[in-house]
Structure 1
C-alpha cells in the first residue's frame, strides 16, 4: 500500500471539511438562533478560522457560517 499523494491528502481534507460543515448544518436545527451582532461575528470568525485550519479560503468558512446562521433562524421560525 502506497502513501497518499499531496493532492489526495488535500482532497481528503476538503471532503472532511465539507462533512464537518454538513454535520453542523444538521445540528443547526437544535440550536437557538444567533441574534446579536457579536454572536454572529464570533460565529463567522470561528468558521473562518476553521476554514483556514483546513487550508481552504476563509471566505468559504464565512459563507458557511452565514448559511448556518440563516438555517438556525429558519428552523426556529425567527
Structure 2
C-alpha cells in the first residue's frame, strides 16, 4: 500500500470542504434570517475570519456570507 500523492490529498480535502459547505447551507436554512446591518456585518466578519483560517481570500468569505444571508431570506420568505 502506497501513500497518497499530493494531488490525491488535495482532491480529498476539496471533497471534504465541499461537504462542509453543504452541511453549512443545510444548517443555515434552519436559522432565522439576518435582518439588521449589524447582524449582516457580524456574519460577513465571521465568514471572512473563517476563510483566513483556511487561507482562502477573505472576499470569498464575504461573498459566501452574503449568499447565505440571501438564501436564508428566500427560504424563510423574508
Shift of the 8–38 alpha-carbon distance from structure 1 to 2, 3 Å rule, reads: farther
Quote the Cα distance in structure 2 between the aligned partners of 1:4 and 1:71: 37
Structure 1, gaps ≥5 residues long: none
3-state SS of paired residue (2:29): helix
Q: Tell me the matched-pair count.
A: 77
Q: Is 2:62 aligned against 1:62?
A: yes
Shift of the 51–71 alpha-carbon distance from structure 1 to 2, 3 Å rule, reads: same
Aligned-pair CA distance for 1:15: 3.8
Per the alignment, residue 19 of structure 2 pairs with: 19
Q: Provide the alpha-carbon RMSD of the alignment.
A: 1.8
| Cα offsets for 1:17-76 (capped at 9, x unmatched) | 333222111222211001111111010010011111111111111111001100110011
Structure 2, gaps ≥5 residues long: none
Query: Which protein has greater RCO, CA pairs closer than 8 Å, 6+ apart?
Result: 1
3-state SS of paired residue (1:55): coil
